[in-house]
Structure 1
Amino acid sequence: MNSGRLAGIARHDRPRGPIETVNEVAVTTREGVHGDYRGAMKPEGSRKRQISLITAEGWSAALSDLDLEAGAIPWWHRRVNLLAKGITLPQRAGEHIHIGKTLIIEVAQECDPCSRMEEIHPGLKAALTPDWRGGILGRVLVEGTIRVGDAIRIEE
């Protein structure tokens, strides 16, 4: 079993809105990460982007490819919800990620880096492209409140 820790939580309430980092948040099947506009269930939506995750190791590798020191660009600039540390995220749809006591997320697809990454730093989009460094998109299967420091494990 692959396991690690939740190292960060972020959300933003509107497109291009400011990112807020928090230490604890409720994650539901109806709204994804509470207070994040992307996770809300839309009747016509695919539910593929209810929640997003990236690894600290993948983010650091991308910055290293750009000859930037770890932390030169904070992880939340990637505009993902969760930062995982010490774990390899699955690269296959349908696998389950457990966080904390109850939260279960189903992997929907890779979170492809967008052109917005180029606004942050030239070359960042390309640096996030290999090996799913840009993270994963998932849907909430079982709700829960999560906290920075919670255990993360993969169920295959």
Structure 2
Amino acid sequence: MNQGRLAGIARHARPRGPIETLDAVRVTVEGGLDGDFRGAIKPGGRGKRQVSLMEAGDWDAAMAEIGHTLPWSARRVNLLVDQFDLPQLAGTRLRIGAVLIEITQECDPCSRMEEIAAGLKAALASDWRGGALGRVIEGGELRIGDAIGIET
């Protein structure tokens, strides 16, 4: 699929903090999603984990595999995309509305996923099902429903 849409936005202000879902958010090169603790680039850092993205279909498949119906925000990623296959290649640039994000690496599921539901870490482990991480190249406003596509 060449173009999809942004289906969800979430952030958390601190590690292990509560997840807040939003309809819109400002995104900056320096800070990632406003109010999200992972977005700020640390001195000397490269911002490889500023933003996390996941496919809605991958979350649904993981839920079916473990027999749960948890909301996508339980995954603790920032952006949920629908009708779009996230590229599994570092360096690929995605345009989401006005924002440009460069994929930096796979978002491997952590042990926190097992705290949420037994078997969830394993259900998210293969084929980039846990999502992708990225850095902000161009900031702007993101809104649910924004188009997402690969920038060439």
TM-score, normalized by length of structure 1? Answer: 0.94
The aligned residue for residue 112 of structure 1 is 108
Among all aligned residue pairs of Structure 1 and Structure 2, give the percentage whose two residues are the same amino acid.
61
Deviations 1:58-107 (A, max 9, x none): 10011111133xxx11111111000000000000000011001x210000
1:59 aligns with 2:54: no
Task: Find the partner of 1:84 among 58, 66, 81.
Answer: 81
Q: Which amino acid aligns with 1:24?
A: A
Query: Where do 1:103-142 residues align within 5 Å?
Result: 103-142=99-138
1:75 aligns with 2:72: yes
Task: Find the partner of 2:93 among 61, 82, 96.
Answer: 96
Unaligned runs of 5+ in 2: none
Q: SS at the partner of 1:127?
A: helix
Unaligned runs of 5+ in 1: none
Q: Which amino acid aligns with 1:29?
A: V
For 1:155 and 1:2, how far apart are their aligned partners in 2? 10
Q: Which amino acid aligns with 1:51?
A: V
Q: SS at the partner of 1:84?
A: strand
Query: Where do 1:17-32 residues align within 5 Å?
Result: 17-32=17-32
For 1:141 and 1:45, how far apart are their aligned partners in 2? 15
Shift of 1:43: 0.7
TM-score, normalized by length of structure 2? Answer: 0.97
Q: Which amino acid aligns with 1:140?
A: V
For 1:154 and 1:112, how far apart are their aligned partners in 2? 22
Q: Post-superposition, which runs of at least 4 consecutive aligned residues in structure 1 deviate over 2 A?
A: none
For 2:4 and 2:34, how far apart are their aligned partners in 1? 23
Shift of 1:155: 2.7
